[in-house]
Structure 1
Amino acid sequence: MKKMNRRYNINNLEELHAMVCSLKAEHQQKGDLLLKDTKGYFKQFTLGGLIKKYATPSAFLKIDDKLNISSSLMSLVLPFLMNSTLFKGSGFLTKTLVGLASNKVGKTLDAEHLSAIFNSVKSWFGGSKKKTEKAPHYVDYGIPPDSETY
């Protein structure tokens, strides 16, 4: 580390005290800035920071375009899921055919298809959250306008 030699033009004691105060303030400011930068640097490597950075749908789609993770995963999970739930009591031949078919279907599914399927299923169960507010309409109570109670 290179040592910096600073030259100051100090003529009296008051200028010396002012320079000492200035240097202490500069030292404190640089220390605070260094601490802030260090916290920001370490914050990006925490579990929450990594999840925010890499677990977004756009980042997953970018990774999936290169590696095709979702189709590989679905080609392994879908046959197991189908045979253990829907075709639980069926025979060996049926389970084999279902496994082969669902393996082929699983390879064609990628992250975009899975997210579209998830959104459509979610819309079936979620219903419409946007409710239109009805404008208050005039209610006629049957009292004529020229009566004494009006």
Structure 2
Amino acid sequence: MNRRYNINNLEELHAMVCSLKAEHQRKSELLLKDSRAYLKQFTLGGLIKKYATPSSFLKIDDKLNISSSLMSLVLPFVMNSTLFKGSGFLTKTLVGLASNKVGKTLDAEHLSAIFNSVKSWFSGSKNKKEKSQQYVDYGIPPDSETY
């Protein structure tokens, strides 16, 4: 880029040099700030913030169906090693086939619904106590003038 400056004396030259140095400093700071922001998106924290949200997991799972394929592998192993530990070969085979089919039908939405229902079993008693304490009946009928 060719710039033409109309400089007539030494003072204008010094003023132009100072303004060019200031412009150079400002552009270098802006470039450094932009490059840091660009590189920050590729750090581990930036990648986690971008891709590790629940909605992105659901989108990825809808495309690749990771949770159902993982559950179809893990569920037969867990069932045979815990619930059917002392069972025979035939029982373990049938349980493995059945849990493999069930695992393929599970996806991230089903797993999150199951997790929320199990979580509500343990936290449900607190909510019931709070709801019963909110309404207090003082014996005044609702159509009374004092109500």
TM exceeding 0.5:
yes
Question: What is residue 59 of structure 1 aligned with on the other side?
Answer: 56
RMSD across aligned positions (CA): 2.0
Letter in 1 for 2:121: W
> Which residue, 102, 105, 113 being the options, matches 1:105?
102
The CA deviation at 1:123 is: 2.8
What secondary structure, in the 3-state scheme, does the structure 1 residue paired with 2:122 have? helix
Letter in 1 for 2:79: M
Question: What is residue 39 of structure 2 aligned with on the other side?
Answer: 42
Aligned length, in residue pairs: 130
Question: What is residue 115 of structure 2 aligned with on the other side?
Answer: 118
Q: For the residues of structure 2 that align with 1:37 and 1:100, how far apart are their CA atoms?
A: 55
TM-score, with normalisation over the residues of structure 2?
A: 0.79
Letter in 2 for 1:47: L
TM-score, with normalisation over the residues of structure 1?
A: 0.78
Which runs of 5 or more structure 1 residues have no equivalent in the other structure?
135-150
Q: For the residues of structure 2 that align with 1:42 and 1:123, how far apart are their CA atoms?
A: 42
Which runs of 5 or more structure 2 residues have no equivalent in the other structure?
135-147
Q: For the residues of structure 1 that align with 2:12 and 2:121, how far apart are their CA atoms?
A: 76
Aligned 1:1-150 pairs, distance under 5 A: 4-126=1-123, 128=126
Letter in 2 for 1:20: V
The CA deviation at 1:126 is: 4.1
The CA deviation at 1:80 is: 0.5
- After superposition, the C-alpha distances for 1:57-94 in whole angstroms (9 at most, x for unaligned) are 21111122122111111100111111111111222121
Q: Structure 1 vs Structure 2: percent identity of aligned residues? A: 88
